[in-house]
Structure 1
Amino acid sequence: MADHRLLTCTSRRPGPRRRRPTAHDQPPTGRSLVTAAAQPSATGVPAYTQVLPRLPQSVRRARSLVEITLAAWHLPELTFEADLVVTELVANAAAHAVGPTISVTITRCGPRRVRVAVVDQDEAAVPTPRSADAWDEHGRGLALIEATSRRWGTERLPSAKRVWAELEAEP
Protein backbone atom coordinates (compact mmCIF):
# COMPACT_ATOMS: atom_id res chain seq x y z
CA MET A 1 0.00 0.00 0.00
CA ALA A 2 1.41 3.41 -0.97
CA ASP A 3 1.90 6.16 1.54
CA HIS A 4 -0.26 8.96 0.11
CA ARG A 5 1.24 11.59 2.39
CA LEU A 6 4.40 11.53 0.27
CA LEU A 7 2.67 12.04 -3.06
CA THR A 8 2.65 15.45 -4.64
CA CYS A 9 1.01 16.59 -7.81
CA THR A 10 2.55 19.08 -10.19
CA SER A 11 1.43 20.28 -13.56
CA ARG A 12 3.70 21.60 -16.27
CA ARG A 13 3.01 23.06 -19.62
CA PRO A 14 4.60 21.21 -22.50
CA GLY A 15 7.54 22.94 -24.06
CA PRO A 16 11.07 23.92 -23.15
CA ARG A 17 11.92 24.15 -19.51
CA ARG A 18 12.58 27.68 -18.25
CA ARG A 19 15.60 28.52 -16.15
CA ARG A 20 14.93 29.68 -12.59
CA PRO A 21 15.87 33.32 -11.99
CA THR A 22 18.98 33.98 -9.92
CA ALA A 23 20.24 36.94 -7.91
CA HIS A 24 22.41 37.94 -10.89
CA ASP A 25 19.46 38.37 -13.26
CA GLN A 26 18.64 41.95 -14.17
CA PRO A 27 15.09 43.27 -13.78
CA PRO A 28 13.29 44.46 -16.91
CA THR A 29 14.31 47.93 -18.06
CA GLY A 30 12.62 50.71 -16.10
CA ARG A 31 11.79 48.49 -13.13
CA SER A 32 13.59 47.76 -9.92
CA LEU A 33 13.73 44.31 -8.41
CA VAL A 34 12.70 44.45 -4.76
CA THR A 35 12.44 41.42 -2.57
CA ALA A 36 11.58 41.53 1.08
CA ALA A 37 11.09 39.02 3.82
CA ALA A 38 9.56 39.58 7.22
CA GLN A 39 12.12 39.49 9.99
CA PRO A 40 11.26 38.42 13.55
CA SER A 41 12.15 40.73 16.41
CA ALA A 42 15.48 40.28 18.15
CA THR A 43 14.19 41.74 21.43
CA GLY A 44 12.18 38.79 22.65
CA VAL A 45 8.89 40.62 22.11
CA PRO A 46 6.85 38.89 19.40
CA ALA A 47 7.11 41.15 16.35
CA TYR A 48 7.70 41.01 12.61
CA THR A 49 9.16 43.75 10.44
CA GLN A 50 9.30 44.11 6.68
CA VAL A 51 11.16 46.81 4.75
CA LEU A 52 9.24 47.87 1.66
CA PRO A 53 9.66 50.44 -1.10
CA ARG A 54 7.96 53.76 -0.32
CA LEU A 55 5.33 53.24 -3.00
CA PRO A 56 1.52 53.00 -2.93
CA GLN A 57 1.85 49.43 -4.25
CA SER A 58 3.52 48.40 -0.96
CA VAL A 59 0.14 48.54 0.77
CA ARG A 60 -0.67 45.03 -0.51
CA ARG A 61 2.52 43.53 0.93
CA ALA A 62 2.07 45.37 4.23
CA ARG A 63 -1.46 44.03 4.54
CA SER A 64 -0.20 40.53 3.79
CA LEU A 65 2.37 40.82 6.60
CA VAL A 66 -0.34 41.92 9.03
CA GLU A 67 -2.83 39.22 7.96
CA ILE A 68 -0.30 36.37 8.13
CA THR A 69 1.03 37.53 11.51
CA LEU A 70 -2.43 37.89 13.05
CA ALA A 71 -3.38 34.42 11.79
CA ALA A 72 -0.21 32.95 13.32
CA TRP A 73 -0.97 34.68 16.62
CA HIS A 74 -4.59 33.41 16.54
CA LEU A 75 -6.01 36.95 16.44
CA PRO A 76 -8.07 36.90 13.25
CA GLU A 77 -10.69 39.19 14.80
CA LEU A 78 -8.21 42.09 14.51
CA THR A 79 -7.58 41.58 10.78
CA PHE A 80 -10.14 44.10 9.45
CA GLU A 81 -9.00 46.92 11.74
CA ALA A 82 -5.29 46.12 11.31
CA ASP A 83 -5.67 46.07 7.50
CA LEU A 84 -7.36 49.47 7.64
CA VAL A 85 -4.64 50.91 9.90
CA VAL A 86 -1.68 49.57 7.91
CA THR A 87 -3.30 50.68 4.65
CA GLU A 88 -3.64 54.25 5.92
CA LEU A 89 -0.16 54.37 7.48
CA VAL A 90 1.58 53.03 4.37
CA ALA A 91 -0.47 55.23 2.04
CA ASN A 92 0.41 58.31 4.14
CA ALA A 93 4.11 57.40 4.13
CA ALA A 94 4.05 56.79 0.36
CA ALA A 95 2.38 60.14 -0.27
CA HIS A 96 4.12 62.43 2.22
CA ALA A 97 7.44 60.96 3.44
CA VAL A 98 10.90 61.01 1.90
CA GLY A 99 13.43 58.27 1.26
CA PRO A 100 13.24 55.11 -0.82
CA THR A 101 11.89 52.70 1.81
CA ILE A 102 9.56 52.33 4.75
CA SER A 103 9.54 49.76 7.52
CA VAL A 104 6.30 48.06 8.60
CA THR A 105 6.21 46.34 12.00
CA ILE A 106 3.51 44.43 13.82
CA THR A 107 4.21 43.80 17.49
CA ARG A 108 2.28 41.74 20.01
CA CYS A 109 1.95 44.01 23.05
CA GLY A 110 -0.24 41.67 25.07
CA PRO A 111 -2.37 38.55 24.81
CA ARG A 112 -5.11 40.39 22.86
CA ARG A 113 -3.29 43.58 21.79
CA VAL A 114 -1.05 44.42 18.82
CA ARG A 115 0.76 47.52 17.58
CA VAL A 116 1.03 48.27 13.87
CA ALA A 117 3.78 50.76 13.02
CA VAL A 118 5.32 52.35 9.95
CA VAL A 119 8.73 54.03 10.03
CA ASP A 120 9.82 56.45 7.31
CA GLN A 121 12.86 58.70 6.90
CA ASP A 122 10.91 61.97 7.19
CA GLU A 123 11.65 63.08 10.74
CA ALA A 124 10.32 66.62 10.25
CA ALA A 125 6.75 65.95 9.10
CA VAL A 126 4.63 64.70 11.99
CA PRO A 127 1.12 63.71 10.91
CA THR A 128 -1.77 65.59 12.46
CA PRO A 129 -5.45 64.82 12.03
CA ARG A 130 -7.42 67.34 10.05
CA SER A 131 -11.08 67.72 9.32
CA ALA A 132 -12.15 66.91 5.79
CA ASP A 133 -15.14 68.42 4.04
CA ALA A 134 -17.81 66.14 2.62
CA TRP A 135 -16.34 66.34 -0.90
CA ASP A 136 -12.63 66.10 -0.01
CA GLU A 137 -10.86 63.07 -1.44
CA HIS A 138 -8.12 63.10 1.21
CA GLY A 139 -7.74 63.90 4.88
CA ARG A 140 -9.68 61.14 6.64
CA GLY A 141 -6.91 58.57 7.22
CA LEU A 142 -5.82 59.62 10.69
CA ALA A 143 -9.44 60.09 11.75
CA LEU A 144 -10.09 56.48 10.69
CA ILE A 145 -7.04 55.31 12.63
CA GLU A 146 -8.15 57.26 15.70
CA ALA A 147 -11.68 55.80 15.50
CA THR A 148 -10.47 52.24 14.91
CA SER A 149 -7.53 51.93 17.28
CA ARG A 150 -7.27 51.79 21.06
CA ARG A 151 -4.66 54.56 20.81
CA TRP A 152 -2.18 55.88 18.25
CA GLY A 153 0.80 58.19 18.15
CA THR A 154 4.12 59.18 16.65
CA GLU A 155 7.70 58.86 17.85
CA ARG A 156 10.71 60.77 16.59
CA LEU A 157 13.69 58.54 15.85
CA PRO A 158 17.20 59.48 14.71
CA SER A 159 16.66 60.54 11.06
CA ALA A 160 13.15 59.01 10.98
CA LYS A 161 9.73 58.88 12.59
CA ARG A 162 7.41 56.06 13.62
CA VAL A 163 3.63 56.33 13.34
CA TRP A 164 1.81 53.56 15.20
CA ALA A 165 -1.60 52.39 16.32
CA GLU A 166 -2.58 49.81 18.93
CA LEU A 167 -5.52 47.49 18.44
CA GLU A 168 -7.10 45.29 21.07
CA ALA A 169 -9.40 42.32 20.60
CA GLU A 170 -12.46 41.93 22.77
CA PRO A 171 -12.00 39.31 25.53
Structure 2
Amino acid sequence: MATVLVVCPGVHSPQLTECFLTAVALDRANTVQICIIPGDRQPVYSPLHGLRVLQHRLGAPWAAPPVLFLGFSAGVVGLAAIAPLWKALGGTVLGLIALDGWGVPLSGPFPIHRLSHDRFTDWSSALLDGPAVSARGSRFYAEPAVAHLDLWRSPHTAMGWWQPASATPVRTTAAACLQTLIHTTAAL
Protein backbone atom coordinates (compact mmCIF):
# COMPACT_ATOMS: atom_id res chain seq x y z
CA MET A 1 0.00 0.00 0.00
CA ALA A 2 1.37 3.43 -0.95
CA THR A 3 1.93 6.05 1.71
CA VAL A 4 -0.40 9.03 1.75
CA LEU A 5 1.07 12.41 2.68
CA VAL A 6 -1.72 14.36 4.37
CA VAL A 7 -0.97 18.07 4.01
CA CYS A 8 -2.81 20.51 6.27
CA PRO A 9 -1.82 24.09 5.38
CA GLY A 10 -2.31 27.22 7.42
CA VAL A 11 -4.85 29.97 6.87
CA HIS A 12 -3.57 31.39 3.59
CA SER A 13 -4.04 31.23 -0.16
CA PRO A 14 -4.02 27.73 -1.71
CA GLN A 15 -1.40 29.03 -4.16
CA LEU A 16 1.14 29.13 -1.31
CA THR A 17 0.58 25.42 -0.72
CA GLU A 18 1.22 24.77 -4.42
CA CYS A 19 4.47 26.78 -4.08
CA PHE A 20 5.40 24.60 -1.10
CA LEU A 21 4.70 21.34 -2.93
CA THR A 22 6.74 22.52 -5.92
CA ALA A 23 9.65 23.72 -3.75
CA VAL A 24 9.83 20.39 -1.95
CA ALA A 25 9.43 18.61 -5.31
CA LEU A 26 6.19 16.96 -4.21
CA ASP A 27 4.10 16.94 -7.32
CA ARG A 28 1.31 14.62 -8.31
CA ALA A 29 3.72 12.31 -10.21
CA ASN A 30 5.67 11.49 -7.06
CA THR A 31 5.72 8.09 -5.37
CA VAL A 32 3.81 9.53 -2.42
CA GLN A 33 0.07 10.13 -2.80
CA ILE A 34 -0.86 13.62 -1.58
CA CYS A 35 -4.10 14.47 0.22
CA ILE A 36 -4.57 18.18 1.00
CA ILE A 37 -6.99 19.23 3.70
CA PRO A 38 -8.38 22.42 2.16
CA GLY A 39 -8.19 25.50 4.30
CA ASP A 40 -9.94 27.95 2.03
CA ARG A 41 -13.44 26.62 2.80
CA GLN A 42 -13.18 25.15 6.32
CA PRO A 43 -10.99 25.87 9.35
CA VAL A 44 -7.78 23.81 9.17
CA TYR A 45 -7.40 24.07 12.94
CA SER A 46 -10.59 22.05 13.40
CA PRO A 47 -9.88 18.34 13.94
CA LEU A 48 -13.47 17.49 12.99
CA HIS A 49 -13.11 19.18 9.60
CA GLY A 50 -9.82 17.40 8.92
CA LEU A 51 -11.11 14.03 10.06
CA ARG A 52 -14.18 14.33 7.80
CA VAL A 53 -11.95 15.15 4.82
CA LEU A 54 -9.69 12.17 5.53
CA GLN A 55 -12.56 9.73 5.99
CA HIS A 56 -14.17 10.98 2.77
CA ARG A 57 -10.94 10.66 0.74
CA LEU A 58 -9.23 7.69 2.41
CA GLY A 59 -12.10 5.73 3.97
CA ALA A 60 -12.10 4.22 7.44
CA PRO A 61 -8.76 4.63 9.26
CA TRP A 62 -8.30 0.88 9.76
CA ALA A 63 -8.73 0.24 6.02
CA ALA A 64 -6.77 3.28 4.76
CA PRO A 65 -3.17 3.23 3.55
CA PRO A 66 -0.42 4.38 5.95
CA VAL A 67 -0.34 8.16 6.40
CA LEU A 68 2.33 10.73 7.13
CA PHE A 69 0.89 14.01 8.40
CA LEU A 70 2.46 17.35 7.45
CA GLY A 71 1.05 20.63 8.73
CA PHE A 72 1.88 24.31 8.71
CA SER A 73 0.93 26.95 11.28
CA ALA A 74 -2.81 26.65 12.08
CA GLY A 75 -2.84 23.33 10.25
CA VAL A 76 -0.57 21.92 12.97
CA VAL A 77 -3.34 22.65 15.50
CA GLY A 78 -5.73 20.38 13.60
CA LEU A 79 -3.15 17.65 12.99
CA ALA A 80 -2.04 17.61 16.65
CA ALA A 81 -5.49 16.16 17.40
CA ILE A 82 -6.13 14.26 14.15
CA ALA A 83 -2.91 12.18 14.10
CA PRO A 84 -3.37 10.49 17.52
CA LEU A 85 -7.09 10.05 16.85
CA TRP A 86 -6.43 8.45 13.44
CA LYS A 87 -4.01 6.05 15.15
CA ALA A 88 -6.50 5.29 17.97
CA LEU A 89 -9.16 4.49 15.35
CA GLY A 90 -6.88 1.84 13.84
CA GLY A 91 -5.06 3.86 11.20
CA THR A 92 -1.35 3.52 10.49
CA VAL A 93 0.40 6.80 11.28
CA LEU A 94 4.01 6.92 10.10
CA GLY A 95 4.71 10.32 11.65
CA LEU A 96 3.85 13.99 11.99
CA ILE A 97 5.85 16.84 10.48
CA ALA A 98 4.99 20.26 11.92
CA LEU A 99 6.17 23.46 10.26
CA ASP A 100 5.94 26.47 12.55
CA GLY A 101 3.35 24.98 14.86
CA TRP A 102 4.48 27.37 17.58
CA GLY A 103 2.62 27.00 20.86
CA VAL A 104 1.13 23.64 19.88
CA PRO A 105 2.21 20.76 22.15
CA LEU A 106 2.94 17.64 20.12
CA SER A 107 3.08 14.05 21.27
CA GLY A 108 2.02 10.66 20.04
CA PRO A 109 3.09 7.05 19.53
CA PHE A 110 4.83 7.93 16.24
CA PRO A 111 7.84 10.03 15.19
CA ILE A 112 7.30 13.78 15.33
CA HIS A 113 9.44 16.27 13.44
CA ARG A 114 9.38 20.03 13.93
CA LEU A 115 10.62 22.67 11.51
CA SER A 116 10.75 26.28 12.67
CA HIS A 117 11.39 29.59 10.95
CA ASP A 118 13.85 30.68 13.65
CA ARG A 119 15.82 29.44 16.64
CA PHE A 120 13.50 30.95 19.28
CA THR A 121 10.44 29.19 17.85
CA ASP A 122 12.37 25.91 17.84
CA TRP A 123 13.58 26.36 21.43
CA SER A 124 10.23 27.47 22.86
CA SER A 125 8.32 24.73 21.03
CA ALA A 126 10.67 22.08 22.42
CA LEU A 127 9.48 23.02 25.91
CA LEU A 128 5.96 21.82 25.01
CA ASP A 129 6.78 18.61 23.19
CA GLY A 130 6.50 15.07 24.47
CA PRO A 131 9.30 12.54 24.34
CA ALA A 132 8.37 11.39 20.81
CA VAL A 133 10.08 14.45 19.32
CA SER A 134 13.42 13.96 21.03
CA ALA A 135 13.45 10.15 20.98
CA ARG A 136 12.24 9.30 17.46
CA GLY A 137 11.79 12.62 15.70
CA SER A 138 13.91 15.52 14.62
CA ARG A 139 14.09 19.31 14.67
CA PHE A 140 15.03 21.96 12.12
CA TYR A 141 15.34 25.70 12.53
CA ALA A 142 16.24 28.33 9.96
CA GLU A 143 19.42 30.27 10.62
CA PRO A 144 19.41 33.01 9.62
CA ALA A 145 15.74 33.31 10.49
CA VAL A 146 13.17 33.57 7.72
CA ALA A 147 9.65 35.00 7.78
CA HIS A 148 6.95 32.61 9.01
CA LEU A 149 5.19 32.40 5.64
CA ASP A 150 8.49 32.01 3.76
CA LEU A 151 9.12 28.71 5.53
CA TRP A 152 5.98 27.42 3.76
CA ARG A 153 6.16 29.28 0.47
CA SER A 154 9.91 28.85 -0.11
CA PRO A 155 11.39 26.08 2.08
CA HIS A 156 14.21 25.64 -0.45
CA THR A 157 15.52 29.09 0.54
CA ALA A 158 15.35 28.49 4.32
CA MET A 159 18.87 27.45 5.29
CA GLY A 160 19.37 26.17 8.80
CA TRP A 161 20.21 23.32 11.15
CA TRP A 162 18.56 19.92 11.14
CA GLN A 163 18.98 17.80 14.26
CA PRO A 164 17.97 14.21 13.48
CA ALA A 165 17.33 11.98 16.50
CA SER A 166 20.62 10.86 18.05
CA ALA A 167 22.75 12.39 15.31
CA THR A 168 25.01 15.34 14.70
CA PRO A 169 23.27 18.52 13.45
CA VAL A 170 23.38 19.00 9.67
CA ARG A 171 23.43 22.33 7.82
CA THR A 172 20.79 22.10 5.09
CA THR A 173 17.62 23.68 3.73
CA ALA A 174 14.14 23.05 5.07
CA ALA A 175 13.20 21.57 1.67
CA ALA A 176 16.07 19.06 1.73
CA CYS A 177 15.18 18.12 5.31
CA LEU A 178 11.54 17.57 4.29
CA GLN A 179 12.47 15.55 1.21
CA THR A 180 14.59 13.23 3.33
CA LEU A 181 11.91 12.85 6.01
CA ILE A 182 9.12 12.19 3.52
CA HIS A 183 11.02 9.77 1.30
CA THR A 184 12.59 7.89 4.22
CA THR A 185 9.23 7.55 5.96
CA ALA A 186 7.39 6.57 2.75
CA ALA A 187 9.92 3.78 2.19
CA LEU A 188 9.00 2.12 5.50
TM-score (norm 1): 0.30
Structure exhibiting the larger radius of gyration computed from Cα positions = 1
TM-score (norm 2): 0.28
